[in-house]
């Protein structure tokens, strides 16, 4: 059985005080949610503070991105190894905002996945199609290509410590979530694609859904057989909303 995992992606939001209050609010309920894995991805500058507060309480911390390089003259970049050094467990790679706003191609995402794995961290590989790609019926080909580029670069075996996050671009931050059927279909397609390389790894890999998950839609999404938790943007900035979503993930365990 796959342990559901819920990760908050704070994006470009927060302050020292806000991070402390938000994490304290989440950790207050952490003991009752021990069946699931939980994490948060704050902006880089707050990571050390959040690790100090959260690590002992059993909540992982991740970077929202990292450099594709290991070290060197790359002003403004943060390496995967640095994230490991300050106590991170995860790094988001290939988030659609990185792909569309910062020009990250499948090749860049593949290289970032490699450096994250080499640093001993868990990549959360984000994939997803745009609305145009879905309307043209190309969503499986697009998402399949995003996955295959990484399998080619790191090998299927690396997916035994990689998390996949399916996030349709049209659902991110829009309030328009994929229907449970749409999400389940894509998750099943991703798992089938990985199974063509290794049935055992495909069975074990966790595939999160992301894109306008809110307290009122989390349970139905997490009840789908191939959805193993969520990557949460906006709703992760409110402790109670995030906790309702985490409880929905814990509740999905009881259904399975």
Instruction: List the beta bridge partners of residue 60.
Output: 39
Of the listed 37, 68, 129, 167, which one is catalytic? 167
95 annotated active-site: yes
Task: Note whether 213 binds ligand PGA by CB under 6 A.
Answer: yes
Task: Note whether 246 binds ligand PGA by CB under 6 A.
Answer: no
Backbone φ and ψ for 13, nearest 5 degrees, come out as: -140, 150
The CA distance from 230 to 205, in Å, is 14
Residue 166's Cβ-side half-sphere holds a number of Cα atoms within 13 Å equal to 30
Please state the closest distance from residue 210 (CB atom) to ligand PGA, in A.
4
Axis-axis angle for helices 106-118, 139-154 (nearest 10) = 40
Please give the residues from 150 up to 209 whose contact with ligand PGA meets the rule CB under 6 A. 167, 172-173
Using the contact rule CB under 6 A, the part of the chain among 79-87, 153-161, 189-197, 230-238 near ligand PGA is 230-238
167 annotated active-site: yes
Among 233, 242, 247, 250, binds ligand PGA (CB under 6 A): 233
Backbone φ and ψ for 124, nearest 5 degrees, come out as: -105, 95
Please state the closest distance from residue 165 (CB atom) to ligand PGA, in A.
7
Identity of the residue, 120 or 173, whose beta carbon is nearer to ligand PGA in the bound complex: 173
Q: Contact, 12 vs 43, CB < 8 A?
A: yes
Task: Note whether 226 binds ligand PGA by CB under 6 A.
Answer: no
CA 201-65-61 angle, to 5 degrees, is 75
Among 99, 125, 234, 250, binds ligand PGA (CB under 6 A): 234
The CA distance from 228 to 206, in Å, is 6
Site residues for ligand PGA per CB under 6 A: 9, 167, 172-173, 210-213, 231-235
Catalytic residue ranges: 95, 167
């Amino acid at each position: 059985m796959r342990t559901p995992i819920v990760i908050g992606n704070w994006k470009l939001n927060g302050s020292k005080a806000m991070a402390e209050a938000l994490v304290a609010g989440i950790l207050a309920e952490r003991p009752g949610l021990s069946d699931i894995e939980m994490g948060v991805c704050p902006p880089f500058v707050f990571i050390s503070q959040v690790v100090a507060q959260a690590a002992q309480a059993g909540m992982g911390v991740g970077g929202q991105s990292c450099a594709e390089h290991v070290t060197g003259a790359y002003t403004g970049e943060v390496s995967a190894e640095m994230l490991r050094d300050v106590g991170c467990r995860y790094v988001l790679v290939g988030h659609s905002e990185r792909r569309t706003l910062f020009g990250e191609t499948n090749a860049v995402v593949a290289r970032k996945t490699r450096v994250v794995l080499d640093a001993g961290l868990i990549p959360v590989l984000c994939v997803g199609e745009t609305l145009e790609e879905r309307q043209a019926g190309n969503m499986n080909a697009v998402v399949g290509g995003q996955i295959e580029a990484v399998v080619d670069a790191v090998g299927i075996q690396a997916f035994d410590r990689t998390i996949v996050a399916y996030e349709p671009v049209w659902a991110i931050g829009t309030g328009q979530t994929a229907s449970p059927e749409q999400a389940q279909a894509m998750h099943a397609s991703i798992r089938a694609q990985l199974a063509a390389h290794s049935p055992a790894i495909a069975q074990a890999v966790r595939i999160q859904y992301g894109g306008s998950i809110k307290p009122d839609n989390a349970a139905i999404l997490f009840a789908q057989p191939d959805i193993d938790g969520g990557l949460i943007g906006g709703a992760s900035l409110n402790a109670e909303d995030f906790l309702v979503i985490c409880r929905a993930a814990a509740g999905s365990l009881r259904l399975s």
